[in-house]
Amino acid sequence: MSVGGAKTHHFEASRLFSCANQVALITGGGTGIGLMAAQALASNGAKVYITGRRLEALETAAKTHDPSHGGQIIPIGPCDVTKKDDLQKIVKELEGKEKYLSLVMCNAGVGGPKAPPEQEGGEELKKNLWENESVEAWNECYNVDVTAVYFTAVACLPLLQKGLKSEGKGGPFERFGPSIITTSSMSGLMRDSQGHFAYNTAKGATVQLTKLMSAEFLKTGIRVNSIAPGYFPSEMTTKASGDDQKSEMPHDMAKDKGHVPIERGGKEEEMGMMVIFFAKNEYVNGQIVAIDGGVLNVLSS
């Protein structure tokens, strides 16, 4: 057999990473990592529904980042992911528009209270943490970053399963083609609190929840994986976004942290690569992948 006759067309990027036939729902999709994910998927042919609490932000994001390669970014909602009624309403609306979902990205999140534990004395440390954090703020952080992730995933299971050929609904995907992506954080994988005890604890729970769902949802033919980002430009990181719903991260912001070996924040293209990898690679399940510039190489995890 001639070596020159070996077939390689199935390795072409357009085949490996085409998102044609993909129909996705992204929570927190109007800004930050959610919008990066929406752009990456839509730019490669996917129809992407983005939802969140601010309909105006969703509409602006969809209008200013409309792709030109066959995909779409479509606002839907508004939706408060901590409310089961809102999630059910979104699912019902999607059922009226689409035969199936191929991807759900549970991305909505909040940062929680911050109280840097810099004091060495017990009294001083207690005072700082006690007075700058509250039970209510902890609960809100957990509700959005963990509980809502679970109920979002559960609410979408039937629509994800309808994407399977085996369901007889005309779906285009083999078993384990449809998937769920959670957005956890490098902060949920490290011992350094970074002054964010609530957030880091919640993201650690998101990591564990991802593992649990990836095992329990095997019977449905749906994969579950998690992206654990480091420093990326988002409203959570920079506290603001522009007229196009994009956030700008100062060049030295990550470098000045002193624990980012690559000495910069993550690029939106790099986040996009990770999202498409999880969406397309049907042999990956139950994985938590840190995309953090090497932070976890130098901070205890």
Q: How many residues does the chain have?
A: 301
- Cα–Cα distance for residue pair 240/126, rounded to 1 Å: 31
Respond yes or no: is residue 280 known to be catalytic: no
Cis-peptide into 78, omega within 30 deg: yes
Respond yes or no: is residue 199 known to be catalytic: yes
Which tokens go with 120? 């060495």
Which tokens go with 231? 């420093």
What phi and psi, each to the nearest 5 degrees, are found at residue 242?
-90, -170
Select which of 142, 162, 187, 203 is catalytic.
203
Select which of 43, 102, 184, 185 is catalytic.
184
- Cα–Cα distance for residue pair 221/164, rounded to 1 Å: 8
Respond yes or no: is residue 246 known to be catalytic: no
Which residue reads 């035969």 in tokens? 99
Burial class of 39 by CB neighbour count within 10 A (0 to 12, 13 to 18, 19+): buried
Name the packing angle between helices 197-216 and 148-161 (round to 10°): 30
CA 67 to chain centre: 20
Give the count of beta carbons closer than 10 Å to the beta carbon of residue 83: 12
Select which of 187, 199, 226, 234 is catalytic.
199
Please write down the HEC assignment for all residues of 117-135. CCCCCHHHHHHHHHHHCCH
Which tokens go with 15? 């085949």
- Cα separations in angstroms, 4 against 1, 7, 11, 246: 9, 9, 16, 47
Give the count of beta carbons closer than 10 Å to the beta carbon of residue 64: 14
- Cα–Cα distance for residue pair 169/219, rounded to 1 Å: 18
CA 218 to chain centre: 20
Residues designated as active site: 184, 199, 203
